[in-house]
Amino acid sequence: MGEKESFNRIRQNKIFLLETLSEDPNIIVQHVQEANLISQREYKNLSDITKREEKVISLLDILMGKGEKTCCQFIDLLRQEKILEDFPKLKNHVVIAFPAMPHTSPVQEVSQYKIEQIPRGVCVIINNVDFATMKERRGSDEDQKCLAKVFHWLGFKVVEHRNKTAAEMKNLLKEVGKTVDGDCFVCCTLSHGMKEGVCGTDGAVISVDEIREPFNGNNCQKLAGKPKLFFIQACRGNRNQQRVHVQADAPDDEESDMEVDGDDFDITIPADTDFLIARSTTDGHSSYRNPEEGSWFIQSLCRNLKQHCPKGTDIQTILLSVNNEVSRQGLKSKQMPVHEVAMRMKLVLLPANH
pLDDT in tens, the chain (354 residues): 445 788 888 988 899 899 999 999 999 999 999 899 999 889 999 999 999 999 999 999 999 998 989 999 999 999 998 899 889 889 878 788 765 444 444 434 447 999 999 999 999 999 999 999 999 999 999 999 999 999 999 999 999 999 999 999 999 999 999 999 999 999 999 999 877 788 999 999 998 889 999 999 889 999 999 999 999 998 765 665 444 433 222 223 344 456 777 644 444 434 468 999 987 877 666 677 889 999 999 999 999 999 999 999 999 999 999 988 888 887 777 878 888 888 999 999 999 986
Cα angle 344, 219, 180 (rounded to 5 degrees) comes to 80
Give pLDDT, residue 101.
44
Give pLDDT, residue 237.
55
User: Is 215 within 8 Å of 228 (Cβ atoms)?
Assistant: yes
- The β-bridge partners of 339 are 278
- The H or E element that residue 26 is part of is helix 25-34
Q: What is the pTM of this model?
A: 0.65
Give pLDDT, residue 166.
96
Residues with catalytic function = 192, 235
Is the four-CA dihedral 281, 197, 129, 180 of positive or negative sign?
A: positive
Complete domains list, the chain, with CATH: 5-109 (1.10.533.10), 121-241+248-342 (3.40.50.1460)
